[in-house]
Copies of this chain bind each other. A is one copy, B any other.
Amino acid sequence: MASQVRTLTGYHHFKTGAEGHVSADVAARRGIPDASVARLPGYLQALTSLAERGISSVSSEELAAAAGVSSAKLRKDLSHLGSYGVRGVGYEVDRLAYEISTALGLTQDWPVAIVGMGNLGRALAAYSGFATRGFNVIALLDRDDSLVGTPVGDLAVRRMGDLDALVRDDRLAIGVIATPADSAQDVADRLVGAGVRSILNFAPCVLDVPSDVMVRKVDMSTELQILAFHEQRRTGELDLTAQSGVEGVVAL
């Protein structure tokens, strides 16, 4: 397993770094393309689903089908993590799931805080899929002090001022913004000020943050609009072909 690059030159601390206990993946992990990283969670989901069904081994073809990608893409993505498959056989489900989890940093539980206890915030707080693996909602916050103390699930709403303590004492690293758009920037500023550098933004607006802070946006309106585009293009084309059918005859 760990018998790969056991060079005893003593000068390998550059690229490979400390491979003794950090394993060589860290070096490899540096260069995973964003597009691949974005697909890894999907593979992990598929693998978990397979494991639940008692399947212990998959080929790239099968796993790719389960994750909704091409097998070539899957193999190339996995090759960035290392060489965890067996030629002629496939991948061991548990092993691969573990490796992807490690690559994604899910071996530890990340503390998450949700800000904004409106409809969406409460739904997110109650969402079990959140706590699946790797994440732990440790705090629910709201700007409105009249909500403070209200129990939501098994947590009580806390005030925004608690952010600093959460980052300091509980190693809070990820903030979820579930507020209306007009207070999202303010919340983001407070998160960043407290030291949070990863933000998941559900508010339909662009956040202005320092370059070392990562923001990912989830917006149902955007998604619906993209669907609308294709839906409209489809019906537009139907009209078009109907018309051009006639025109085609005329043209002849």
Contacts and interface: CB of A to CB of B under 8 A. Distances in A.
Interface of A: 8, 10-14, 17-18, 22, 26, 29-30, 37-38, 40-42, 44-46, 49, 66-68, 103-106, 108, 110, 112, 119-120, 122-124, 126-127, 129-130, 132, 134-135, 173-174, 176, 181, 197-200, 204-206, 214, 216, 218-234, 236-237, 239-241, 243-245, 247-248, 251-252
B41 A226 contact: yes
18 contacts: A10-B248, A11-B251, A26-B240, A30-B233, A42-B222, A49-B205, A66-B206, A103-B229, A104-B225, A105-B231, A119-B123, A123-B123, A130-B221, A134-B228, A176-B220, A198-B227, A200-B224, A214-B227
A180 to B, nearest CB: 8
Nearest to A29: B233
A214 B200 contact: no
A247 B9 CA distance: 12
Copies in the complex: 2
